[in-house]
Amino acid sequence: FEQIGILHKRFKQLSHNEDKLRRDDFNTIPDLACNPIRNQIIEAFFDKRNFHQNGEGTVQEIGFEEFLVVMSHFRPPALNMTEEQRENIRREKLRFLFNMHDTDNDGTITLEEYRHVVEELLSRSGALGKETAKGIADAAMLEVASISMGHMEPDEFYEGITFEHFLKILKDIEIETRMNIRFLNLDTTTLCK
């Protein structure tokens, strides 16, 4: 399992040879600085929900096992998997994404949270950002609502996107084939300052 070895090396490098990784350690990666959603990515590493232990909340530092667990979300599916296994993998990956959006851990992505997501995405665009982001987020929300709930009475509410709805709207983009990183040829010397 050389992948684990490589990741371990990288972990050590990032954490400056300590056993635990902290948020600040991520700041040493220069390329990550230009990424518009870097905060959310970093948060995802410290989010307990991603550790497969049914925990909630966040931690301040993570060990190598947690690092691995988070990375395992990005494993590609094997060639001959049953439909069910694929479905499971898809759920897992989408769950990861969902957790990234749902920052207050209440199980739904509300309009505010979604807006935040879109704003972050567009945060590089400068002046056009805020209002357009809101508009886009609202339209997206509308769409989810329409698809998931169909017809709604005017006095009903749609509080937020639950995980099931999330699954439904994103099932077309075949997450299990796209959300993958190849770990094999990592050049661990790149990097940190």
Assess 24 for contact with another protein (CB under 8 A): no
* Region binding another protein by CB under 8 A among candidate stretches 46-54, 55-63, 74-82, 83-91: 74-82
Of 20, 37, 43, 87, the one binding another protein (CB under 8 A) is 37
Binding mask 76-95 for another protein (x = CB under 8 A): x--x----------------
* Region binding another protein by CB under 8 A among candidate stretches 53-61, 73-81, 84-92: 73-81
How far from chain centre, in Å, is Cα 172? 18
Enumerate residues 105-164 that contact another protein by CB under 8 A. 110-112, 117-118, 121-122, 124-128, 131-132, 134-136, 138-147, 149-159
Of 97, 103, 116, 163, the one binding another protein (CB under 8 A) is 97
Enumerate residues 40-69 that contact another protein by CB under 8 A. 41
Please tell me whether residue 125 adopts helix, strand or coil conformation. Answer: helix
Of 51, 64, 163, 183, the one binding another protein (CB under 8 A) is 183
Token representation of residue 191: 């990097």
Of 22, 29, 68, 92, the one binding another protein (CB under 8 A) is 29
In whole angstroms, the minimum distance from the beta carbon of 48 to another protein comes to: 19
